[in-house]
Structure 1
């Protein structure tokens, strides 16, 4: 029976015309291609949604809470009085998809592998900070990252417990371990397919290695409720794992289809050919509300921060045109002039974006931090759409040369993202109105290409967001504003004052003092206009009403569309 049902699922993935998705199958449509299925490299929400259902972490968020944790592959843990040693008792009777038994050796291998391969494209910098006292790897920081330090930081004791030893207290360690990137992989399986063998003899060969297209990404083996069946450029097919320790899920199959056109995705949802789709912005709701069989889960708090980046050191000559202030291009340091950044900030129509994209259900942010997070200061000043101010700052830029000669700016946005395209078009229109010599050329790019070129510093201007790895303001503010932050290669600015404030905040225990430091960060960032802050919309999910278990289990810390482990979902009639 399973083979027959799976064959039906595969036919659906191939595009067979069916009136509705079978009851034993969940079909999700997204526009973003999947960068990787190797947890060590998962650092985007599209890849994360799949990875967090194939693999499991030691701990996870409890129910809908973003602060309470519960054990997943760990059943309990103890913290030493000095806060530097964590001892995890691990779950027994757990199998990997390969059939291998889960043991402490797998947890030890997984976290050590993350510390060894840690690179600028992965999310392992923050676990490296906790366990090694540095965000770098052995190539970046050879004094701090040695085999002795890695093996001492992560090891199994004689009782089969995992012991993590930190150089300094980190109250956020447990929530960091709940992040998908710290999921436990199958050591025996990984080694058998050519991944790192876990030994001191070979570790240096794997330092900082790009694992996006690793053998483990192609052939994953986790302990999660779903295992990979096949993957191609348009479809990812997964099947419920019979040996799952938590009991076999009710949904036999999950199919993730990559469908670029928004209209196609919305039509599939309306016809019942998909259970969840990436809808795009709030205007899509007008096409879905009142449609029989579709349910709207609205009012989801916004747990992310988005901005238009202005790269101060653009590293792609193709983007620069002439590379000069001659009206035919821009210099690499175009956005290094604060007057240019302020002019662009005054050129964006924030209210129009809220009205058109968020249908009035959006708010301006004062800093790149969710307003529900500790440290957010609503009193920090914000920019408004003001063409006169924009023109005044453009006239000041580069000693008047920019206004006199004009420029051609080539900017990118994520392909098939209507909100991103609309935002960039609003900016383009308003800037080109100011001076006939100002030209902004927009280009859509596939998600994986967009991520790669932006992290290489090759994009002049992009719109991108940040979803939290863990619930702490440092995860946002350090990421966006510090010169060592994850997003710095996309923005390429260094502000000594911001670095000092953020470093100090990391070491400040007193909440009032820490909050004051973050207020100063917000004010300094406003004065320097490092980003154009996007208004935050209220989230929603449109889905087939036959799907059960979504709303009562929805957690904003999860990746992707469903906001859940798929194993908690079912369909009416099952």
Structure 2
């Protein structure tokens, strides 16, 4: 008890830990934690903590991306032609305050997510499944309390029943997402959150829960509970009333340490067990092979990144003259497929893999992880070919582009060397093809670029997508559909692609879905809406004092946060 009290004191005062004890896991990250409310968790920093305090109905089985297993549920059945899901819930599960979890808590959780849903909360895709729309009641008048209440109910047997308006082959995978973790209804209402009633739901529609009372005072069923925290430090302890296997590590400390050198020194000294790295080139040079470090390489990468070529740029500030006169570009500059194909041939993919990814990269055929069902390795890819780029530039805009030239201004995320290098490579390549071609690149703060690109104001940016759920739909619809999440940033529209994507959403036949996604991939190659960035090979490293599930190739799952309960430390 004395050691625990001392550790708490050091953590809250911000003092550095030294020779961290075997019963304490120390994690250091560069940034802060936006929220601890599951209902608005939509980033990796937040989910890393939420996933250990809260639990979902089901989760991924081991390292599998396709097999799901019960967590707070014990089993489920599917009926009504694939539109009704009935879940049996685990008995005698306790929240951290001692309350017993009931079906009412689960119903409240999903209704709360549907009520407060916003595009930035991560609940848009569960709303799409249960209500038939990504929007909340403020943005879609067809969303009513009756629809929300009818979508999820507890039956007389205490089972949780979801009723979908149409078949959704990705529904179970969506339930494994962090944001669908079960919260305590009675406790939430007692601290000022929505009370779960029809009388008050309207006042909570679309409400930002980032700094909610539940975020400040989380209360889950998970293996760890929050003891205390300040701006830079979080202290968790194993929950004695946890229904599952008791964690081997008693305490977990999460520290914000912005300085990379300080994090590196901490793990090399043994003061920290897990730290946020700085990318392969830096981590290999500074960390790999050092005493006391375990390095795990060749892990699956489930992100997808691309150059977006906006076909309807809604900001005059980036257009120069606004004409194809050698002094700017028109707002629809990228609407000509020949421009997009030329840009795609102008990027040196292999050079990027060699120089930036240190040879640990892979050129994909689609904006979909190659480990996901639906990926087609036979779809054609673009390769660096200056002659073909020149050919398409000469065809673009009836020959006027080649004749007059252009000036394009492109922003990239500030302080990201990989994005800056990619932009510089493309700029150098294109400007070498024709002296009349000019690309100005400039850094921009990430939050500002996210907001402006969502408004369609960025001409060309590099942005990626990490999956919310392990289903091809989460990538293919997001990138390629004219009403997909990223559509405002690209303004790409293709009637055939839209038709195939919608068909893939209405069947549970995986072979048919694979066929449809192959059609999309081939059509996207022809239309070239994006320049597909090579995918880096994932890796991780940690203190050799730590072992356990999620740290090895055999147990690593890119869809889940690291579960502290499966770790041991010596």
Normalised to the residue count of structure 1, the TM-score between the two structures is 0.89
- Residue equivalent to 1:491: 490
How far has the Cα of 1:384 moved from its partner? Answer: 1.3
Sort the Cα spacing of 1:78 and 1:398 in 2 relative to 1 into closer, same or farther, 3 A.
same
Sort the Cα spacing of 1:205 and 1:328 in 2 relative to 1 into closer, same or farther, 3 A.
farther
Partner SS, residue 40 of structure 1: helix
Sort the Cα spacing of 1:176 and 1:327 in 2 relative to 1 into closer, same or farther, 3 A.
same
Task: Supply the distance in 1 between the matched residues of 2:342 and 2:122 (Cα, whole angstroms).
Answer: 33
Aligned match for 2:6, one of 4, 29, 38: 4
Task: Supply the distance in 1 between the matched residues of 2:88 and 2:172 (Cα, whole angstroms).
Answer: 14
- Residue equivalent to 1:282: 280
Sort the Cα spacing of 1:208 and 1:333 in 2 relative to 1 into closer, same or farther, 3 A.
farther
Sort the Cα spacing of 1:470 and 1:512 in 2 relative to 1 into closer, same or farther, 3 A.
same
How far has the Cα of 1:501 moved from its partner? Answer: 1.3
Q: Is the 8 A contact 2:346 2:430 kept in 1?
A: yes
- Residue equivalent to 1:461: 460
Task: Supply the distance in 2 between the matched residues of 1:372 and 1:82 (Cα, whole angstroms).
Answer: 29
- Residue equivalent to 2:221: 223
Cα distance per residue 1:39-75 (max 9 Å; x no partner): 2222232322222122210111122222222222122
- Residue equivalent to 2:191: 193
How far has the Cα of 1:325 moved from its partner? Answer: 5.0
* Larger mean Cα displacement after TM superposition, 24-33 or 51-60: 24-33
Partner SS, residue 476 of structure 1: helix
- Residue equivalent to 2:151: 153
* Larger mean Cα displacement after TM superposition, 499-508 or 311-320: 311-320
The 5 A counterparts of 1:366-405 are: 366-399=365-398, 402=401, 404-405=404-405
* Larger mean Cα displacement after TM superposition, 326-335 or 222-231: 326-335
Gaps of 5+ in 2: none
Cα distance per residue 1:8-41 (max 9 Å; x no partner): 3334xx2x34444443332333345434332222
- Residue equivalent to 1:337: 336
* Larger mean Cα displacement after TM superposition, 308-317 or 65-74: 308-317
Cα distance per residue 1:61-96 (max 9 Å; x no partner): 122222222222122323336433322222233333
Task: Supply the distance in 2 between the matched residues of 1:488 and 1:122 (Cα, whole angstroms).
Answer: 18
Sort the Cα spacing of 1:42 and 1:432 in 2 relative to 1 into closer, same or farther, 3 A.
farther
Task: Supply the distance in 1 between the matched residues of 2:472 and 2:46 (Cα, whole angstroms).
Answer: 24
Task: Supply the distance in 2 between the matched residues of 1:289 and 1:234 (Cα, whole angstroms).
Answer: 27
Q: Is the 8 A contact 1:364 1:535 kept in 2?
A: yes
Aligned match for 2:207, one of 189, 206, 209: 209
How far has the Cα of 1:468 moved from its partner? Answer: 2.5
Task: Supply the distance in 1 between the matched residues of 2:326 and 2:191 (Cα, whole angstroms).
Answer: 54
Q: Is the 8 A contact 1:260 1:416 kept in 2?
A: no
* Larger mean Cα displacement after TM superposition, 449-458 or 481-490: 449-458
- Residue equivalent to 1:162: 160
How far has the Cα of 1:108 moved from its partner? Answer: 0.4
Residue 546 in 1 paired to residue 545 in 2?
Answer: yes
Task: Supply the distance in 2 between the matched residues of 1:264 and 1:161 (Cα, whole angstroms).
Answer: 50
Task: Supply the distance in 2 between the matched residues of 1:441 and 1:52 (Cα, whole angstroms).
Answer: 38
Sort the Cα spacing of 1:282 and 1:519 in 2 relative to 1 into closer, same or farther, 3 A.
same
How far has the Cα of 1:402 moved from its partner? Answer: 4.9
Task: Supply the distance in 2 between the matched residues of 1:459 and 1:29 (Cα, whole angstroms).
Answer: 34
Task: Supply the distance in 1 between the matched residues of 2:41 and 2:314 (Cα, whole angstroms).
Answer: 25
Q: Is the 8 A contact 2:52 2:563 kept in 1?
A: yes
- Residue equivalent to 1:506: 505
Q: How many aligned residue pairs are there?
A: 563
The 5 A counterparts of 1:314-325 are: 314-316=313-315, 319-320=318-319
How far has the Cα of 1:544 moved from its partner? Answer: 0.6
The 5 A counterparts of 1:219-368 are: 219-229=217-227, 234-246=232-244, 248-260=246-258, 262-283=260-281, 284-316=283-315, 319-320=318-319, 330-368=329-367
Sort the Cα spacing of 1:68 and 1:191 in 2 relative to 1 into closer, same or farther, 3 A.
same
Cα-Cα RMSD:
2.9
Cα distance per residue 1:447-475 (max 9 Å; x no partner): x5554444343443332322332222222
How far has the Cα of 1:522 moved from its partner? Answer: 0.7
Cα distance per residue 1:500-542 (max 9 Å; x no partner): 1111222245444433321221111112211111112221111
Q: Is the 8 A contact 2:62 2:557 kept in 1?
A: no
How far has the Cα of 1:262 moved from its partner? Answer: 4.6
Gaps of 5+ in 1: none
Task: Supply the distance in 1 between the matched residues of 2:349 and 2:188 (Cα, whole angstroms).
Answer: 48
Cα distance per residue 1:209-252 (max 9 Å; x no partner): 33333333333222222334555665444443343333553334
Task: Supply the distance in 2 between the matched residues of 1:229 and 1:429 (Cα, whole angstroms).
Answer: 53
- Residue equivalent to 1:406: 406
Sort the Cα spacing of 1:113 and 1:527 in 2 relative to 1 into closer, same or farther, 3 A.
same
Q: Is the 8 A contact 2:310 2:460 kept in 1?
A: yes
Task: Supply the distance in 1 between the matched residues of 2:387 and 2:257 (Cα, whole angstroms).
Answer: 42
Q: Is the 8 A contact 1:327 1:408 kept in 2?
A: no
